[in-house]
Amino acid sequence: MIVLVTGVGVPTARSFVRAVRNSGRSSLQGFRFIGVDCNQLSYGLYDRSLFDAGYLVPRADHQDYWAQINRIIEAENFSMAVVLPEQEVLVWAENKDKLIRKVITHLPEPALASALIDKYRLHVELSHSDLVPAFIQVDPQNYDYQKIVEKVGENFWIRGTVGSSGFGSLQIGSSTVLDNWIAINSTIEQFIATEFLPGRNLACKLLYFDGQMKRSVCAERVHYIMAKVAPSGITGNTSFGRMLNFPELVEIAEDTMGSITAKIGVKPHGIFTLDFKEDQTGRPKLTEINVRHVAFNSSLAAGGANLPADTLE
């Protein structure tokens, strides 16, 4: 089997392939992996210990993207694709008909992907429940600090509504800090402010096929790589974490997926990484849902939860 892997410049893609190659599963022996990325300096394009070939492609929103992907289909004859950057997940979910032949993917419905990628919309979809913290949208061109405080409290968390690796995130404690942070992050079109959650930083990965949850694993992010270089301390990649035996979190995560998919009217299908922070009472509150695998795939696989291998099987 020949598998295309997108976004190989980030740790997630390399972690995914490493987990599969180290799985020892006979069903996955002989798999070839073809890496693609839009950045010519992406490490994965040249890492032949993981990828059998690498191709430079345009950004997924570029008009020539699908033409290049189809050329790679003809050159490498891949029949399966693992799509990892979130915006690329949405592009593939919406445009698979642009492929010149059928390619096996494991992607959510476009309506679900678009709802989850936008963190404000995700919170709105779940606002009828107690699954998410108090929140409010912040328009950088027109916001009222006092209204934000009235909604989420004097000590709150802000971040961009779209983006990964803690994009635009910071703990806010005064109007001056908020004003300066918004000015620094002038390219962010919309922010979401949420009540500050002081507890553990948790993740629950759920693997769904046609509406049925097949695998789950929980973990805690304790420290982030190069955390001191980010004002928020959040850089997106975990330097130290631990797997957790946390059935209650799996139950909350399943309830969350069931609630939002029922509201949108689709069945869950794909890999979902639900991020939680505990509130002052220790109750996990949802902060975001990633519609993709995440960077510590291979670490979880080493602990016995090999979701990349499960995905391909």
pLDDT given for residue 76 in this prediction: 98
Whether residue 98 is found in the same domain as residue 141: no
DSSP string, 269-307: -EEEEEEEEE-TTS-EEEEEEESS--TTHHHHHHTT--H
What is the enclosing helix (H) or strand (E) of 225? none
Whether residue 11 is found in the same domain as residue 94: yes
Question: CB of 81 within 8 A of CB of 103?
Answer: yes
Whether residue 163 is found in the same domain as residue 76: no
pLDDT at 238 over 90: no
Task: Categorize the per-residue pLDDT at 226 as very low, low, confident or very high, splitting at 50, 70 and 90.
Answer: confident
Whether residue 35 is found in the same domain as residue 94: yes
CATH of the domain at 52: 3.40.50.20
Residue 295 lies in a domain: no
Mean pLDDT computed over 69-83: 98
Note the pLDDT tens digit of each residue in 138-174: 999 999 999 999 999 999 999 999 876 577 899 999 9
Q: Which alpha helices (DSSP H) does the chain contain, by range?
A: 11-21, 65-76, 86-95, 110-117, 119-125, 145-152, 175-184, 247-264, 297-302, 307-312
pLDDT at 263 over 70: yes
Residue 10 lies in a domain: yes
Instruction: Report the number of distinct structural domains present in the chain.
Output: 2
pLDDT at 95 over 80: yes
Residue 244 lies in a domain: no
pLDDT over 90, % of the chain: 90
Residue 204 lies in a domain: no
Q: Please tell me the distance from the alpha carbon of residue 53 to that of residue 45, in angstroms, as a whole number.
A: 7
DSSP code of 142? Answer: B
Pairing of strands 212-224, 201-209: antiparallel
What is the pTM assigned to this prediction?
0.94
66, 88, 107 - which closes a domain:
107
pLDDT at 82 over 90: yes
Mean pLDDT computed over 90-117: 96
Average per-residue pLDDT for the chain: 95
Q: Which two tokens stand for residue 81?
A: 């694709």
Burial 103-140 (b: 16+ CB within 10 A, else e): bebbbbbbebbbbbbbbbbbbebbeeeebbbebbbbeb
Residue 222 lies in a domain: no
Q: Which of 164, 249, 154, 159 lies closest to 201 in space, CA to CA?
A: 249
Q: Please tell me the distance from the alpha carbon of residue 244 to that of residue 173, in angstroms, as a whole number.
A: 32
CATH of the domain at 155: 3.30.1490.20
Q: Please tell me the distance from the alpha carbon of residue 273 to that of residue 35, in angstroms, as a whole number.
A: 22
63, 88, 107 - which closes a domain:
107
Whether residue 24 is found in the same domain as residue 97: yes
Mean pLDDT computed over 104-133: 95
Residue 121 lies in a domain: no
Whether residue 99 is found in the same domain as residue 144: no
Its domain, for residue 97, covers: 2-107
pLDDT given for residue 44 in this prediction: 96
Tell me the residue type at 97: D
Residue 205 lies in a domain: no
pLDDT given for residue 165 in this prediction: 58
Residue 95 lies in a domain: yes
Phi–psi pair at 306, nearest 5 degrees: -95, 80
pLDDT given for residue 81 in this prediction: 98
Task: Categorize the per-residue pLDDT at 83 as very low, low, confident or very high, splitting at 50, 70 and 90.
Answer: very high
Question: CB of 110 within 8 A of CB of 168?
Answer: no
